[in-house]
Structure 1
Amino acid sequence: MSPFNASDLQRIFETIDRNGDGFVSIEELHWLLNRTGVDFISDDLESLIGKSKIDFDEFLSLYESISEINRGGEEIESDLLNAFQVFDENRDGFISCDELHNVLVRLGLWDDKRCVRDCRRMIGAFDVDLDGRLDFEEFKNMMNYSSHSSS
């Protein structure tokens, strides 16, 4: 099952379709993939897709393909869910800037002087739907990016 439903994907598509032409260009798709921690060179992305822009149906197909490739073991998923729940202090299904800041301070990873602005930057780097907080999928992308960049 896909972590995003069609409505979520439609909102994401509309968000990254910055010029509102009903298509996502390679540049717009590259922007999204970079924000979610997936590294592609624009030329490689265009040769993979076979065209310079895609419509919503093609976007759905691409998303499903990437989701299939990126499916990890259930154990990793469970560990990530447990970590997510540590940060989601109010159990609303999202990690806000305040929650991220509180947990990082409580874990001793940040001192209390480190500002919420730094948390906003961290969240902003992975906040695909641009709502100012991380849902579980965005959190997984952040954690996967962190593990890949530290290898």
Structure 2
Amino acid sequence: MAMVVEGLGKKIEKLTTKLEVAKATKDIPYPNGVIRAGTVAGQHYEWTAWVDGAPLMVYHFYWTMGDDIEPRWDNGDSCYRVVIEGDPPLEVRLMGGVEADGRRPFLGLPWTALVGVTAIPQVCDARPGVITHLDLGVVRPSGLVRRPGLSG
């Protein structure tokens, strides 16, 4: 959030946080066990960056172990969603494509890793210290184009 706010030429004055949890309304099986009814099966985190005395940016993160939770947040399909309330307004959704079996997996972890891995050459060439995308400029991934049907 700081990188985006600083990229807009501002500084965060304060950062506020909220946490809301959801409980399982029934047992929820998952590959490593069972989330028991009545225990935590979801989390909603909210961070708000305040600039010039008002909220400028709000980040929401939802994590759930299924649909059988209370409260049930209406956050739609698993995706990254960016909403900009401005003139003109803008909304962008990044979500996995539909697989052959009809599933639409959330690929947040591979996408996150992809950004870091493709930035390695620019990070190695950068000055020492903490750097951000603002310092690196446009990261140019290479070696990602493959002929259809080939893997690796």
TM-score, scaled to structure 2: 0.23
Ranked by relative contact order (alpha carbons within 8 Å, sequence separation 6 or more), the top structure is: 1
Larger Rg: 2
Tell me which protein shows more helix as a share of its residues. Answer: 1
Tell me which protein shows more strand as a share of its residues. Answer: 2
